[in-house]
Homo-oligomer: A and B are copies of this chain.
Amino acid sequence: MKRLKSTALALAMAAVTFGAQAADTPAKPHSKAMGDILAESKPTDWRPLDPENTLYFELPAGRVVMELAPAYAPLHAENIKTLVREKYFDGLVILRSHDNYVVQWGDPSDDELDKSNPPKSQGSAKSKLAPEFTVPISAATTFTKLPDFDGYAPEVGFSNGFPVGRNPKTKQTWLTHCYGAVGVGRGNELDSGNGSSLYVVIGNAPRHLDRNIAVVGRVVQGMEFLSAMPRGPAPMGFYENPEQRVRINSIRLAADVPAAERSNLEILRTDTPTFAAVTDARRNRHDDWYIAPAGYIELCNAIIPVREVKK
């Protein structure tokens, strides 16, 4: 009686996993499930992470791997890399964990959360940056359109492994606030975000933030070390008591980490037929558990598969 209840639900749900878990129930003959599609993918369907644009966010609980998309926020990506190379984030803290929203980190003293200490020096990083909330479409690397309707952008799709929106009329494109998106905190002044305080989306996609703040990349592994962080007790998830704040061991650029200590990950190229097939398998689920395929996929429900490769 219902012995496989949660297991079957879990299997039916497997394709929603954030990241690379590809387990799925057997596909019916007329279609393929995501796991089968990935199992049959070609080596050229995947690309490695670029060590020059990959950050290792080392927390006491484990490593969070973030990929930067410099084409979408070149000044911000560069400034973050400067901060990282000068070890700015080492010893700083998680400032807040706001349920169904974001986890944000930085220097409490830079944020008026803690006035007892002077802010940490930001070294040679710039203190202000021109806003990069959108960029010209011509600056983007690739664009593979998702045919499904989106309410937040005239067009949505994928660009080199990132979910993006774009507006052909204004000729602008931008990274979207899907689960795992990494953004740059800013004040009311549009140039006030410089990468010294970053956030990651941990809830239902807050797409209304799109085009209002600079998104610089996304988490590709270790998301659970951020998303399962206890929510802060103060309004908006802030940790008022310094003892509640998780300390950041370090943030490093993968290129600066010895090869043996790197996370060797590959991303499924989003301009391949394999990725289109994965997305379609999620648009219309064919396994035995589903009785009503959605016939639609919302941008942030698409999965951009990540896999670990042997060194």
Contact partner of A224 (CB less than 8 A), chosen from B8, B99, B104, B128, is B99
Is the beta-carbon distance between A151 and B148 smaller than 8 angstroms? yes
Most buried by B among A2, A197, A301: A2
Interface string of A197-233 (1 = CB under 8 A from B): 1010001111111111100000000011001111100
CB proximity of A267 to chain B, nearest CB, Å = 17
Contact partner of A292 (CB less than 8 A), chosen from B133, B185, B235, B297, is B133
Is the beta-carbon distance between B231 and A98 smaller than 8 angstroms? no
Is the beta-carbon distance between B102 and A17 smaller than 8 angstroms? no
A241: CB under 8 A from chain B?
no
Contact partner of A18 (CB less than 8 A), chosen from B17, B99, B106, is B99
A111: CB under 8 A from chain B?
yes
Contact partner of A8 (CB less than 8 A), chosen from B188, B223, B231, is B188
Interface size on A, residues (CB 8 A): 90
8 Å CB interface, A1-46 against B = 1-14, 16-18, 21, 23
Q: How far apart are the CA atoms of A5 and B23 in the complex, in Å?
A: 41
Chain B residue at smallest Cβ distance from A100: B18
User: Contacts of A98 on B, CB cut-off 8 Å?
Assistant: 10, 13, 17
Considering the complex of A and B, which 9 residue pairs feature the smallest CB-CB distances, nearest first? A151-B296, A18-B100, A224-B231, A211-B292, A10-B236, A8-B187, A208-B294, A9-B185, A99-B224
Can you give 23 A-B contacts (C-beta < 8 A)? A2-B128, A2-B197, A3-B110, A3-B111, A3-B112, A5-B186, A5-B196, A6-B197, A7-B187, A8-B186, A9-B185, A9-B213, A16-B100, A97-B228, A100-B179, A133-B292, A152-B296, A179-B204, A190-B291, A204-B205, A205-B301, A212-B290, A228-B229
